[in-house]
Amino acid sequence: MAANLSAAGSIYLYHPMNTQRKALISGITGQDGSYLAEQLLARGYEVHGMIRRSSSFNTSRIDHLYNNPELLDRRFFLHYGDLTDSSNLNRLLERIGPDEIYNLGAQSHVKVSFDVPEYTAEVDGIGTLRFLDAIKEVGLKDHVRFYQASTSELYGKVQEIPQTEKTPFYPRSPYGVAKLYGYWIIVNYRESYGIHATNGILFNHESPRRGETFVTRKITRAATRISRGLQDCLLLGNLDAKRDWGYAPEYTDGMWRILQNDEPEDFVLATNITTTVRDFVSVSFSHLGIQLEFRGGGVDEVGVEVSTGRTLVRVDPKYFRPTEVDLLVGDYTKARERLGWEPKTKWDELARIMVDADLALLGSEVKSTNAAVM
Ligand code: NAP
Ligand code: F7E
pLDDT in tens, 60-100: 999 999 999 999 999 999 999 999 999 999 999 999 999 99
Q: pLDDT digit string (tens) for 131-140?
A: 999 999 999 9
Q: pLDDT digit string (tens) for 157-194?
A: 999 999 999 999 999 999 999 999 999 999 999 999 99
Q: How many CA atoms lie within 13 A of 245 on its CB side?
A: 23
Q: pLDDT digit string (tens) for 246-270?
A: 999 999 999 999 999 999 999 999 9
Using alpha carbons, select from 59, 37, 164, 157 the residue that is nearest to residue 104. 37
Q: pLDDT digit string (tens) for 301-344?
A: 999 999 999 999 999 999 999 999 999 999 999 999 999 999 99
Beta bridge mates, 303 = 294, 313
By DSSP bridging, strand 275-276 and strand 242-243 are antiparallel
Whether 277 is in the pocket of ligand 2, judged by its Cβ within 6 Å, is yes
For ligand 2, atom 12, which residue shows the shortest CA distance? Answer: 241
Can you say how many angstroms the Cα of residue 365 is from the centroid of all Cα atoms in its chain? 26
pLDDT the model gives residue 343: 98
Residue of 236, 243, 252, 327 with the most ligand 2 atoms within 8 Å of its CB, for mutation:
243
CA of 29 to the centre of ligand 1 (A): 8
- CA dist 58 and 62 (Å) reads 9
For ligand 1, atom 5, which residue shows the shortest CA distance? Answer: 30
CA of 120 to the centre of ligand 2 (A): 16
For ligand 1, atom 20, which residue shows the shortest CA distance? Answer: 82
Whether 79 is in the pocket of ligand 1, judged by its Cβ within 6 Å, is no
- CA dist 304 and 9 (Å) reads 65
pLDDT the model gives residue 8: 28
* Average of per-residue pLDDT values in the chain: 93
What integer is the mean pLDDT of 355-359?
98
pLDDT the model gives residue 18: 52
pLDDT the model gives residue 366: 55
Q: Which ligand is nearest to the CA of 217?
A: 2
**Per-residue pLDDT at 364 exceeds 90:** no
Using alpha carbons, select from 322, 300, 310, 316 the residue that is nearest to residue 369. 316
Q: How many CA atoms lie within 13 A of 353 on its CB side?
A: 15
Q: Are 259 and 328 in contact (CB under 8 A)?
A: no
Catalytic residue among 175, 189, 247, 332: 175
| Residues 6 or more apart whose Cβ sits within 8 Å of residue 124 | 106, 107, 108, 175, 178, 179, 181, 182
Catalytic residue among 29, 120, 151, 345: 151
Q: Which ligand is nearest to the CA of 234?
A: 2
What integer is the mean pLDDT of 113-120?
98
CA of 214 to the centre of ligand 2 (A): 5
Q: Is the peptide bond before 162 cis (omega within 30 degrees of 0)?
A: yes
Q: Which phi and psi (to 5°) does residue 178 adopt?
A: -65, -40
CA of 174 to the centre of ligand 1 (A): 15
CA of 137 to the centre of ligand 2 (A): 36
**Per-residue pLDDT at 10 exceeds 50:** no
pLDDT the model gives residue 155: 99
